[in-house]
Every structure is written in C-alpha cells, then in structure tokens.
Structure 1
Amino acid sequence: MSSHKILGLENLVKAVEELKSQDKTIVHCHGVFDLLHIGHIKHLESARRLGDVLVVTITPDEFVDKGPHRPAFTDNLRAEALASLECVNFVAINKWPTAVEIIDLLKPDLYVKGVVRGKGKRDFTDAIRLEESAVEKNGGHLVLTEEETYSATTLINRYLDIFSTETQNFLTEFRQKYSAEEIVDYLQSIRDLRVLVVGETIIDEYQFCAVMAKANKDPVMAARHLTTEQYAGGVLAIANHVSNFCNQVGILTMLGEIDSHEDVIRSKLNPNVRPVFLKKAQSPTIVKRRFVESYLPVKLFEIYIMQNEELTTPEEAAFCAKLEELLPQYDVVIVADYGHGLMTSKAIATVCEKAKFLAVCTQTNAGNRGFNTISKYPRMDYIELGEPEIRLDTKNDRADVRELISSTAQRLQCPAFLITRGKSGCITYSKETGFHEIPPFSIKIVDRIGAGDSVLAITAPCVARKIPMDAVGFIGNVTGAIACTIIGNKSFIGPTTLYRHLTSLLQ
C-alpha cells in the first residue's frame, strides 16, 4: 500500500524538515496531474534522479482552472495515483491556487517543472515566475526537465466520456476550424473597445442558512442564519466582466436615494470602470435578497427590495441628458434591461438612435411579470436573450427556436442574435452566416444567477468586432459554463480563466 506516502501539509513540512537536517536533497514537483500519464511519469523520474527525496504537491479541486469539465479526477484520487509511483516519496494536496505558499513552507533545494515548448506564458499566468522567485528566496533553484511532453488535457478530451456525444462531435469539428490561439486572439482584439453599460444596478444579497426543521406551530421551514454576503449584480457585474477584457468601461445607472449602498458599490467595481450614478427619489437601490441553504447550495426563498416604478419626468430628463452626453464617447453600448423602470420609452429611443453599436438583453423575472420584452427596442445591432424571453416576445412556446429568431430578426431588423438554451447550450444567428448551434460545456452547476449577464458582457464586444458568430457562441457557452460554477456574482470572468478553459477544450 502507498497511502502512507500521502501526508497533510503540516506533517509533510515536519517530514521535510527532518530529512533536511540529515543533509538530504529535497526535490519538489507541483501540478494538477489530472490523468497521470507517461509524460508525468518520465518527468517525475527525471526529477527524482536530481536529489534524495521527491515531494509532489497537487492543486486542489477548487483551484483546477483547466475548463468547466475539470478536474476529471478528484484530488484524493490524483494523490493516490502519484503515491503509487516508486520514484515519489511523499504526496500532499495543496490548499492554495499556486505553489508559492507551499514552496515557502517546504523550502526545497530544487523545484522542478517540465519545459514549456512554444511561445507565451505557461497557461496564460505568471505563476511559474512567482514560484521561481519563491524558490530562490528560500535558497533553492528552479530546474526544467527536458523529457518528452504529453497533454493530459488532450487525452481527457479524446478518451474520457466527460461530455455527451453531441458535445464531443461539436468539439472535434470546431477544432478543425479554429485553434485555441485564434480564439484567444479574437478575445484579445476587443481590448481597445470603449464600452458603456446601461441599466439597473442590483445588489445580489445571499443569506446563507442551515435548514433545521418545520416550525412548531406553522407549516413553515425554519433555518438558522449563518452568514450574509453581498455581490455586485446587474450592470455592475456586466461592467466588471467587460472591464477584464476591455480597457475603458463606463456605467450609467441609477441608485436609490434611500439606502443607496453607494460606498459598497464603488468598492466592488474594478479600477478601470468609470461609473455615473444618478439618484432615484424616495427609492432604495435594488437589492435581491436570497435565502440559501448553504450546504448544497439551494435557494429557499427570495425578496426584492425595490420600488419597481418608472422614473419621474425630471428623473427621465436627467437620465436621457446623460445618455446624450455619454453615448458618443463609446464604441459599444450594452443595455441590460431588467424591467424595473429605468429604461423608459424616451431612454430607449435615445439609446437606439445614438449608440454606435447597441447590444441589448431584456430579462423576464418575478419583478416584471413578463412585461419586459425585446420588441420595445426599435433598433439593435445584437440581441442576447434566454430562450424563454424570445418565446415570450413572440408569444409562441412551441415553434422551433430558429423560426422565432428568423421572424424576430426580420421584424426588428437586427443582424445578430445569441439565444441561451440552458442544458441545450446556445444558438447564434447572423444574416451573413445563418445559424450555429453550440452544445453546453457545463459539468458542475453551482448557481445560474448572473450566467446570462456574463455571456452578454463578453460576447457583445466580440460581435461589435465582427468575430464569426460560431466563435462568439463558443466563447459565450464557455463563459456561461464558468459563471455557473460561481455563487452569485462573487467573482468575475477574467482573461486567464477564460483563455485556459477555451484552450483546454480545444486541445
């Protein structure tokens, strides 16, 4: 049995300290090792020959950033596989995203990585540079092995049934048309676009609870409150997503005059987001409070704190005047209309007339009871909707979604669509190339709140840059899959994560 080789971090540090006191040369390797293969084995054997003791640490499941379908094997299984190798003396599961902290604890004599062939950063990050600095700071050296390399990601994608047959077939065809480098280049090409996000500010508040039992005297489920977290939702989330890919991002929105939460909101925006906040009299900033059973997590109940009324005439005039001022300054305008009264008929007319490139999503939710549909916008360059929204707008819950997109495109004279379809993925449309269906890439669903907003945020600049719509759909589906692994809007999609996930799927 090899289980005695697997140690907790504290015990591993003690074991290494004892061995170093005996003048043993400690060699440290770190990685994901998701699907242990011959390339890993050759690398580890080569590392072992450099010293007396080989210690291997692995990335924990929560920090494996190689795609929505990874890791294929849990950290415990990956540790067992490594411990079974004769060349490995000790294995431990790290508890940080990179090896920097564990290098500081172990202080290895040699830190060994496989050589990266080709150009660019390793996995689009600076992790190896930071790890090298940590090794040298602690008196050690970085060594790169020259063993033949293999791709665990490629092996997993080709030979493990992670995805459905439909998704596997799509990826096989898509890889023949696009390389990972081409998709990343498309995303990097939107960096210089100036983007304005218009719509309602929403604070997503999560009240995490532990369900206890039915209340004694009433048919009510009782729960014990654990923690409360507030996230930047609505246009705040969209702006934060976009600002990770575009240098200049603005927001035009309204906060409540009562309980504005402005200090909290400003603290949650990325540094390159320039907000313009107007105030709505005698109203609070919208808060959507969700009570969540923390273990699963499962939403139990939600409350909307808002007025849900249209702007007064002076408020509408001030909002439209600010639109007139800001719209000419931006290349792309994203309107996220949650149907809570901000986007009046005059505001819609202004943005449709003045925006250089206009992307719109109208959301149906409990607060607008289905009255917030896309047809109230007379001119758009790109529409992103969920399938229920386009069915509601066309008043047709049975027809093929392609028919609904075609009729809506003709009626609204909109040249580009992306319709999200939940477990069916998404479908894109453009006048030039027609329809493209992209299957889902989600394996783990934590929370769907904000997933559609993330898709809108990343795909709108791509459509404005005239990136092919099948590539836009692929980027959108991967973005949505990542967003579904995040509770609420606790964090935002960044280039490193998205590039690594895209690259993983295309290997």
Structure 2
Amino acid sequence: MIDDAYKHKVKTAAEIAEIIGKPPRRRKIVMCHGTFDLVHPGHIRHLVYARSKGAKLVVGVTADTHVKKADHRPFVPEGLRALNLAALETVDYVVIDPNATPIENILTIKPDYFVKGYEYQKGGLHPRTAEEKEAVESYGGEVIFTPGDIVYSSSAIIESGPPDLAVEKLINLLDGENRNFDDLKRALAGVAGAKAHVIGDTIVDSLTVTSVIGASGKTPTISVRYEGKRDYVGGAGIVAKHLKAAGAEVTFSTVLGDDLLADFVREDLAEAKVTLNDVIDRTRPTINKNAIVADGYRMLKIDTLDNRAISEQVCRKLCEAIRDVPADVLLFSDFRHGIFNRESIPLLTAAIPEGRFKVADSQVASRWGNILEFRGFDLITPNEKEARFSLGDQDTVIRPLGTRLFEEARCKVLMLKMGARGMMTFREAGGDLRSFFGIDSFADHVVDAVGSGDALLAYASLVLKTTGDPVLASIIGAMAAAAECELDGNIPVEPAMVLKKIETYERRANFGG
C-alpha cells in the first residue's frame, strides 16, 4: 500500500532519541507538536519554517485519547494523522505522543529547538507553553515562535464541511489492528448457523400513503386522499429478521395482543423462518405505529400501544424462555413498551444461563429507561442521545462520554452509534490495543436511516460472538447499517449486501473507484 512508503518515519520517542543522539549536536534537531487533525496551509507554513531552523524535523502528534477540545474529535484518528505528516517531505520523523503534554517527549528527544506557533506567545505565555519552555531550556534547548501570520483552524474547516475520509480511516484501522478485507469476508461468512434468541417488544410499523386534496378555510384541517398502506414488523421483530437474514437460527420471544396485527406478525415471521415464541396478553394491543404520509411528507404518526409493565405471569413465561431456549447469543431489544421495566429487568437478567453471550440495545431516549440497567453485558449499542440520557450528561464531548458509559456499564464492548458521523467502539484493552476507535458511516446514498441501528445490532452481535473481535464486529455492523440506510423501509439486510459493501470499500482502498 502507498502508506507503507512513509511508515518508517513514524517512531517512538526512544527510537528517535537513539537515532539523533544526545546534544550537543553538530546538526540541529527541531521539534514541533500539535493535534494536526486536518493538515492545512497554516500547518504547512509552520512546519516549513520549523524545518528551516535545523537539519531534521520531528513532529509530535497528540494521541486521540487526549484530544478533547471539541465534540466528535479528533476527526482523523492518530495513526492516519501521523501518516499524513510523514508523507510531507519537510518532516523527518513523527511520534504519536501517548501523554497529555509533550514534555516527556521533549525530555526524551531533547530537540535543539522546539517551535511553537505565533499565537502561543500573543498576549503572554500560556501556562502550558511556559512548562514546555522550562523543559526545553532545562537541557540547553531553545523555544522558537513562528512569525505572526494567518492562524488557520482545523475545527473551523471540519465543522464547515467534514471531508469524507471513510476509506482512509478504514484502511488505517485495519492496518493498525493487523486485519484486512479477507478477514472481514471470513467473519461475515462465519456467522451462518449461530443460534440467537431475541427478547423484546414487537412493533408493527405502518405507512399510510396519501395525497393532499386541499385544506379547510375555517379550521387547520388538511383533506387527503388515501392511496395505500404498508405494514412492516419492526421493533425487536426486525432485529430477529436481520439475524435470520444473516444466517443465524433465530428464536424471538415477545408479547402480542389478541388481534389481527398479531396474526400479521406470526405470518410475517413464519415467512422469514424466525421461530416465534409469543406470549399473548389480551389486556393490551399489539403495538402499532402508523405514519401518515401526505405527498411524500410525514404529516402525523398515530401510535396504538399500552406501555404498562408486563404482568408477573408474562414475565415468568419470558424468564422460562430465556432459560430453556438454546442460544449462542441472547439479545435484549428494549423499546420500553412494557417488557423491560424496573421490576422485570433484574428477573429477566437473572434468568440468563451462565456463560451465555449477552447483548442489550435500549432505544429509550424519548421514554424512561436506561442502558445502564443492563450492566455487565458483553455488548451494548446505544446511540449518543441514549448515552447522554443514561448519564444525565448533555455537555461532555463524545469520547470522554463514551469512556464514562463504558466504565459505568461494566460491559466488555460498547458500540456508541453517532448517526451520520458513524460510531465509536470502546473495549477492554491491554498491551498495544487501543481502548477505543472510530468508524465513519459507509452509507453512500441514504434513502431511509430508520432501522439502521437494528441491522448494526444484529450483525455486530453475531460477528463479536463468533470471532471475539470488536474491530471486525464494528466494521461489519457499520456496513450492515449502511446497507439498511440505502433501503426503503424495514427490510432485513442480507449478507450479500454487506459483502458488496466490503468489496466496494476494498476497491476504493486499492484506488479501484
């Protein structure tokens, strides 16, 4: 790959120190440090100026874990930022700094000159800059400030129109984790035959299509002509259908009413070859959410539901199913419509057999519920709003927010969904493994984003269980979500659709378009 031509420039601080030797040196060493989230003209001028002061230029890059100045940042992961700088002729070495400040690297490398931007001395030295200056001068080095010039902002450039770096970030992640596209293909094929058991609320999503005839002159009443209606099995039901489409053997335990919509659910799931374990509750209707569309616009949604907590009898039957249904993966798909509540969750969780792979998805941001009620699970997949809801935190930027949720949930893997911005995965890490990594959205043309999280949940759960690899699970889950975004309606994602995504991005990675 082309990136390989520059990797030799990316070193540790200790490796650079050994190469350049200790001061005093005949050939001066210059060092800069920064985030370099997007390398822009201001960065180039700064680096060229710094290089002009010595024989070699070392650039320190702030590690992802210490970039906290804005939400959803860094936009470019540390490995790719390092390679972007290494590709510049003016840069001789790049070091990804694992520390919050560059002081330790300064004292290890001992550059003759440490170059800072003009803005860092304007109006007096910032305390952190003063600490850096003290470190440099402690061994006889010197801090130089670049001449005053236009100060460009990576943040402003990113926020005005984020560039599409999905391919580059994917390559960087796979390379950094010693994975490749063949690994993705094998992982996708390997989920066939896995046994999955889904417990959750069934929702029948209806789409009533109309066209506007006119409006009343006296009241705010719109007159529409009925043109048709389509029903889809949604909620936890579509999660079950995604799992089945992926190749798993699926049992779906849920609560239905005694009505015609329940018959529709049975017929639909039978056609999809999902084994349905339905508990009938004659006191409540099968949940229906009917969106009224007028001339292509969603004008109104009519929900028919009863959000009361399930009875002790119904809860007991679901606990029996959790204990008795053989499964490799158990998924709690919580839409907070009665099955999962303060009383039932401890009982349902306690019924899970020892050693069962446990997954929870809690789509409850608009109702009372909390993903933290599923502590100790192998995988949880909330979106950003649900994460903030669970922690009561609307202010913290996304990476520290995810880290806190991961720690409080005591889960093994957290996949934090961020909509059009992709996702961020947090995991138990040791050795050289990173504790978190980001993945951009792989959707090329969004038709209907609703339900993409259900596709991600299904595919990521199966891959994580069968491979034990959060990286492969996250990428394949994200690609399944992208495939769902490109479909109109709640349509189960087939493995062929995900494979097509993998092959598309493999071609793009190899400059095949």
Q: TM-score range by the shorter chain?
A: 0.5 to 0.7
Q: 1:412 is matched with which residue?
A: 409
Q: What is the Cα deviation at residue 346 of structure 1? A: 5.0
Q: 2:206 is matched with which residue?
A: 205
CA contact (8 A) 1:240 1:270 kept: no
CA distance in 2, matches of 1:174, 1:233: 33
Distance 1:277 1:165, change over 3 A: closer
Q: Which amino acid aligns with 1:307?
A: D
CA distance in 2, matches of 1:284, 1:391: 31
Q: What is the Cα deviation at residue 320 of structure 1? A: 2.4
CA distance in 2, matches of 1:268, 1:252: 12
Which has more radius of gyration? 2
Q: 2:336 is matched with which residue?
A: 339
Aligned partner of residue 275 in structure 1, secondary structure: strand
Q: Which amino acid aligns with 1:229?
A: R
CA distance in 1, matches of 2:479, 2:248: 22
Deviations 1:436-459 (A, max 9, x none): 111112232222221111111111
Distance 1:178 1:317, change over 3 A: closer
Q: 2:96 is matched with which residue?
A: none
CA contact (8 A) 1:232 1:265 kept: no
Q: What is the Cα deviation at residue 187 of structure 1? A: 1.3
Q: 1:164 is matched with which residue?
A: 163
Aligned partner of residue 506 in structure 1, secondary structure: helix
Q: What is the Cα deviation at residue 426 of structure 1? A: 0.7
Aligned partner of residue 498 in structure 2, secondary structure: helix
CA distance in 1, matches of 2:409, 2:305: 31
Q: 1:321 is matched with which residue?
A: 320
Q: Output aligned runs, 1:368-383, within 5 Å.
A: 369-383=366-380
Q: 1:273 is matched with which residue?
A: 274
Q: 1:245 is matched with which residue?
A: 246
Q: What is the Cα deviation at residue 210 of structure 1? A: 1.9
Q: 1:476 is matched with which residue?
A: 477
Aligned partner of residue 381 in structure 2, secondary structure: strand
Q: 1:424 is matched with which residue?
A: 421
Distance 1:180 1:298, change over 3 A: farther
CA contact (8 A) 2:464 2:472 kept: no
> How many residues are aligned here?
337
Q: 1:504 is matched with which residue?
A: 504
CA distance in 2, matches of 1:378, 1:431: 15
CA contact (8 A) 2:426 2:436 kept: yes
CA distance in 1, matches of 2:276, 2:254: 8
Q: Which amino acid aligns with 1:319?
A: L
Q: Output aligned runs, 1:116-265, within 5 Å.
A: 164-174=163-173, 176=175, 178-265=179-266
Q: Which amino acid aligns with 1:313?
A: E
TM-score (norm 1): 0.63
Q: Which amino acid aligns with 1:440?
A: S
Distance 1:482 1:465, change over 3 A: same
Aligned partner of residue 440 in structure 1, secondary structure: coil
Deviations 1:319-361 (A, max 9, x none): 32333322xx111001110001112445422443315011101
Cα RMSD between the aligned structures? 2.1
Q: What is the Cα deviation at residue 461 of structure 1? A: 1.3
Q: Which amino acid aligns with 1:502?
A: I
Q: 1:122 is matched with which residue?
A: none
Aligned partner of residue 253 in structure 1, secondary structure: strand
CA contact (8 A) 2:233 2:268 kept: no
Distance 1:184 1:270, change over 3 A: farther
Q: What is the Cα deviation at residue 216 of structure 1? A: 2.9
Relative contact order higher in (CA < 8 Å, ≥ 6 apart): 1
Q: 1:300 is matched with which residue?
A: 299
CA contact (8 A) 1:240 1:269 kept: no
CA contact (8 A) 1:180 1:502 kept: yes
CA contact (8 A) 1:337 1:360 kept: yes
Distance 1:376 1:179, change over 3 A: closer
TM-score (norm 2): 0.62
CA distance in 2, matches of 1:263, 1:210: 26
Q: 1:358 is matched with which residue?
A: 358
CA distance in 1, matches of 2:502, 2:386: 28
Q: Output aligned runs, 1:19-98, within 5 Å.
A: none
CA contact (8 A) 1:186 1:467 kept: no
Q: What is the Cα deviation at residue 205 of structure 1? A: 0.5
Distance 1:316 1:270, change over 3 A: same
Aligned partner of residue 385 in structure 1, secondary structure: coil
CA contact (8 A) 2:269 2:276 kept: no
Q: What is the Cα deviation at residue 472 of structure 1? A: 2.2
CA distance in 1, matches of 2:260, 2:284: 8
